[in-house]
Amino acid sequence: MNDKAPTAGIILAAGCSKRLGRPKQLVQMKGRTLIERIVDAALNSELTRIVLVLGHRHEAITRLLNQKLGQKLGQKTDPVRFNIVINRHHPEGLSSSLSLGLAQVKNTHASVMFLLGDQPLLDAPAINALLTAFQSSKKDICVPVQDKKRGNPTIFSRHFYASIMEIQGDSGARRLIGLNPSCVHHYHTKNPAYFFDIDTEANVRAWQTMIDPAKHVKMQR
């Protein structure tokens, strides 16, 4: 029996996108928003449960997902596989979303993958490759790396659940990775999906160039 399975996915998408100046979750490219892409990638992966943590503009994002993914959700998953939780304390930092998401799955899943809601290149094969690397290792943490640069998502076994629940502020789980090097499996990869995210307008333009240089970015306000 694999004591690191099953693995749940927690999508962290509660932030207010201060650097971008508008909700990054609703950045649209080729008719699909960033949050749609992340949720769809998770649903198509081998993650056994997905929890989406929203906060800023959660009403608009939830409405959009119901409209765009409602039928798809019904086709791909039973009601308990995907759910949305609202982080009313998201201004306090990323840690509040970590603990809220983890609370949904810590009693039912042996490990958890934290996915960021702003990685537009991430797809189901990339998620599954990281899962395979984690399950094949003897480590309790798995992190994608390229040339010593750490990427996302990251995976933690239940061994670190208590420590994650104690994190405060906006640092996320990075400190746990740094404090426990012997527990970390480095998944070496050249896949850019793990290392590209959307924080600024320059990132949006770079994403546009990657997938469709001929079209302009559209933003939903």
* Token pair recorded at residue 166: 């104690």
- The single-letter code of the amino acid at 14 is A
**DSSP SS3 for 102:** helix
Quote the pLDDT of residue 8.
98
Name which of 45, 120, 35, 111 is nearest 76 in CA terms.
45
Quote the pLDDT of residue 170.
80
* Token pair recorded at residue 25: 């979750």
Please say whether the dihedral angle defined by the alpha carbons of residues 126, 113, 24 and 200, taken in this order, is positive or negative: negative
Chunked into runs of 10 residues, the chain (221 residues) has average pLDDT values of 88 84 82 92 96 94 83 56 93 92 97 96 97 97 95 98 92 89 97 92 84 50 39
Radius of gyration, alpha carbons of the chain: 17
Are the C-beta atoms of residues 198 and 118 closer than 8 Å to each other? yes
How far apart, in whole angstroms, are the C-alpha atoms of residue 14 and residue 176? 21
Are the C-beta atoms of residues 79 and 48 closer than 8 Å to each other? no
* Matching residue, tokens 């400190």: 175
φ, ψ of residue 80 in degrees (nearest 5): -90, -5
Question: In order of start, what are the domains of the chain with their CATH numbers?
Answer: 7-211 (3.90.550.10)
Quote the pLDDT of residue 174.
87
Q: What is the pTM of this model?
A: 0.90
Ordered DSSP codes for 172-219: TTHHHHHH-GGGEEEEE---GGGT----SHHHHHHHHHHH-TTS--EE
Dihedral angle over CA of 199, 201, 205, 206, nearest 10: -30
Are the C-beta atoms of residues 62 and 50 closer than 8 Å to each other? no
